[in-house]
Structure 1
């Protein structure tokens, strides 16, 4: 069984993946913003609680 890929199919799939990546990045930035805002509320971004939350939520981001 062979699979025949056409450029248009591959290009469209690539565009979909790029759009999904942009959406995920926007969601990630919104989460980081919320974490930092919570950190400010609970004692600043340098607080131990904020740093622990950042490590727990964004361990794979770095």
Structure 2
């Protein structure tokens, strides 16, 4: 069965609930997005999946 996937990915980001924004950081600086605008793009779309994930680098073992 074929699958069509549509997604938005924000990496190295911080959520600020005080003003409902998401700020994404990279080598070119920072870009800020309105969380409500992101959610409105997906409003009414059936079968969505939402995932929030944080990754942390682990120190290498020396020996």
What's the TM-score, normalizing by structure 1? 0.33
Higher strand share: 2
What's the TM-score, normalizing by structure 2? 0.32
> Which structure: larger Rg?
1
